[in-house]
Each structure stands twice: as structure tokens, then as C-alpha cells.
Copies of this chain bind each other. A is one copy, B any other.
């Protein structure tokens, strides 16, 4: 029967998140298919990683759209965004730490669009007075990626309850990004 390529990608992401140097054979076994079939769907390791990147970008952009980051208070938009990104967190953690993606060649333009969307959200929050201005939008974007990765990792290791994922990230990130009330 036909193999579900996206299913294969998801199991590959789950495995590579734990062991980034996993063999094509290990990836295939984790997906419950043979190495030959894996190779029929993804020409090689590069193609597999690039497919994972495309999937991650697609999910990120979908989350950005679903969160309607340009509507309402920026803080609420961040909450919606993190909630929307939660299912993709493990995949994002993999891609975020897979620095070899940016090895030499130009990075996928999708990331630039996503970065722009995130940066714009944080900048909007600053301009509306919700967020403090001493933390740059670029840093807040980077920190969001880092916290998503840390959260996914902590959940996978059992150090944080899965249900607390969004709360932990949003509260830590916003607590820092939200301007303090005057004492």
C-alpha cells in the first residue's frame, strides 16, 4: 500500500530530534518501512532534511496565519501563536539546532518570511507600549525559537508536563517582554 510521506516525515522528525545523526536505515525502521522505500520517497538524506525543513516552514506559516498576529493586543497574539506552534515544536527544535542546514548555501526564503512576521509582531507590541523596548525584536524572535526548543526538549525528557508547555513558554516569554507596571 502507498506510504504516507507526511507520516514518514513526522516519525523522522521525532527520531532526528532525539538523535540528529541517525542513519537512513534507522529513520526507515522508525517509520516502519524499509530503507528502499524510504529512498523511493526521498532521494537521499539531503532531500529528507529539506523536506523536513519545508514541512516546518509550512507549519510555521500556518501557525502565523492561524494566530492572526496582527489583530488585537500583541500579548494575546503571542499567546495564540505559541499555542498554534505547540504541535510543531519538536520539529522546530530539530530544525533550529540543525545548523548544518545553513551550511554554506542560502537558507530557505521561508525562514526569512517567518522571521519577518515574528519580528513585526514584537515590534508592534513595542510600538503599542505593551512590550519593553530594551529587548530588540530580533532577540525576542530568537528567544521564542529557543524557548520553543527548550520546551519541546523538556517535555520529551519528562521534566515539564505536556499540558504546561504553552503556559510555561508564554508566561516566561511575555513576562520578560511585557513592560512592567510602574512600581
Residues of A at under 8 Å CB distance from B? 17-21, 97, 99-100, 103, 132, 134-136, 138-140, 142-143, 145-147, 149-151, 153-154, 159-160, 164, 167-168, 171-178, 180-181, 183
Contacts and interface: CB of A to CB of B under 8 A. Distances in A.
A41 B17 CA distance: 31
A175 B143 CA distance: 13
A122 B67 CA distance: 32
Contacts of A140: 172
Given A138-B154, A175-B176, A99 B20 contact: yes
Nearest to A136: B160
24 contacts: A18-B99, A19-B99, A20-B20, A20-B100, A132-B175, A134-B171, A135-B168, A135-B171, A135-B172, A139-B159, A142-B150, A142-B159, A142-B160, A143-B150, A143-B168, A146-B146, A146-B149, A147-B147, A147-B150, A172-B173, A173-B176, A175-B175, A176-B176, A180-B180
- Chain A binding surface SS class: helix
A144 to B, nearest CB: 9
A142 B154 contact: yes
Contact of A172 (B20, B103, B177): B177
A180 B142 CA distance: 24
Contacts of A142: 150-151, 153-154, 159-160
A166 to B, nearest CB: 12
A147 to B, nearest CB: 6
Contacts of A99: 17-20, 153
